[in-house]
A and B are shown apart, each in its own frame.
Chain A
Amino acid sequence: MLPAVEKILYISLIVFAFMAVQTPKLRNAVVFLAVFSASSAFVYILLGAPDAALAEAVIGSTIATVIYLSALQKYKVFTIYYTNEKRHSYGQSNMLRRRNAVLRRMESFCLGKELEAHIVYTTESLHRILEKRGWDLIVRNNDRHFTVYGMEQNYHIEEMKNFFNEKGKDLAKAGYTIDFVIK
């Protein structure tokens, strides 16, 4: 039985290492690395090195993960509030599939800038969100009309404007209109 378990662990090591390298999102990569170290700790146990396994489990999958996550939280997180005041709630499929073309463009923009897009779906009114702090961008959806609010000191807004001017022509053809408001 043991060799089979060992084989599964070896395969999972390769799979998770590959996924950690290939995933475009940094947060997912951190979680895959944590799983990678946990399975390598199991491999160490099976190979007869419980001491190394203990150190690997503690440091690799706990301390390193927390440090990576806190580093990601420090900066590079681009918080986008997406609000649609007409709706009362969002279904699960709505958030998972990200079918909204404008938000998808924003995510690809953030990927290009090595930012981690963190999208908050809400139905609160614009004023409630403006009172809060900690947002980088507010996207207000009114049917096919999108209004994007940003702070003046946020230098990514201008770049995003240019991005949508250059690559957003097909969006305009599909009937979407996007306005940028800088506070």
Chain B
Amino acid sequence: MNEDKRHSEILEDILQFIYPLIILFGVYIIFTGVSQPGGGFQGGAVLVAIFMCRYLVYPDEMRGLSAIQKLDKVVLIFVVALASMIILIGFRDIFPFMNKIYNMAIGILIGIKVASGLTVVFYTFANIEGGDED
């Protein structure tokens, strides 16, 4: 198996060029999700592609995975807290101009949540010991 897991230089070089494009596209989808098709979920799912590309080049354990898992949980608390706060206190009725800011903030939070959650799912899944590992 070691022979197969050696990383390829072509992939590495091309991915270094592609990373910024993926980040730009994901952030664009998150930020324009307020008024256009898109939004936090789709943008976050695009951002997971970064970690998947990283897996293609270095298919080993990622070091910061537990930190990403913690981020996932913390951001979930923030999403629930922000949404319930806005709805319960009724900010949207008091300050109508808050609507767009609120939409964007919740989009960004959901984007981070989806990206980190799917990354954890993918890496945990990909590093499960297979049948013929020797």
Q: Which residues of A contact B (CB under 8 A)?
A: 50-51, 53-55, 58-59, 62-63, 66-67, 70-71, 74-77, 132-134, 136, 153
User: Which 4 residue pairs across A and B have the least CB separation, nearest first?
Assistant: A75-B131, A74-B130, A50-B37, A75-B130
A132 to B126, CA, bound (A): 24
Q: Tell me, rounded to whole Å, the shortest Cβ–Cβ distance linking A65 to chain B.
A: 10
Q: Contacts of B3 on A, CB cut-off 8 Å?
A: 132-134
Given contacts A54-B37, A59-B45, A70-B126, contact A133 B1 (CB under 8 A): yes
Residue of A nearest to B49 (CB): A62
Residue among A50, A66, A133 with most chain B CB within 10 A: A66
Q: How far is the CA of A137 from the CA of B124 in the complex (A)?
A: 30
Can you name the residue of chain A whose Cβ is closest to the Cβ of B42? A54
**B residues less than 8 Å from A51 (CB atoms):** 37-39, 42
Query: Do B130 and A67 touch (CB < 8 A)?
Result: no
Secondary structure at chain A's binding surface: helix, strand, loop or mixed? helix
User: In the complex where A74-B130, A74-B131 touch, is A67 in contact with B125 (Cβ < 8 A)?
Assistant: yes
Q: How many residues of B contact A (CB 8 A)?
A: 25
Chain B residues with Cβ under 8 A from A66's Cβ?
A: 52, 122
Cβ contact within 8 Å between A134 and B4: yes
Minimum C-beta distance from B97 to chain A (A): 25
Jot down 11 A-B pairs with beta carbons below 8 A, ordered by A.
Answer: A51-B38, A51-B42, A54-B37, A55-B41, A58-B42, A63-B48, A63-B52, A67-B122, A70-B55, A76-B131, A77-B132
Bound complex: CA of A35 vs CA of B128, how far in Å?
A: 27
Q: Does B2 contact A (CB under 8 A)?
A: yes
Q: Is the CB of A58 within 8 A of B122?
A: no
Give Cα A53 to B125, complex, Å: 26
A55 and B45: CB pair below 8 A? yes
What distance in Å separates the Cβ of A48 from its nearest Cβ neighbour in chain B?
10
Rounded to whole Å, the gap between the CB of B4 and the closest CB of chain A is 5
Q: How far is the CA of A66 from the CA of B38 in the complex (A)?
A: 22
B34 contacts the other chain (CB 8 A): no
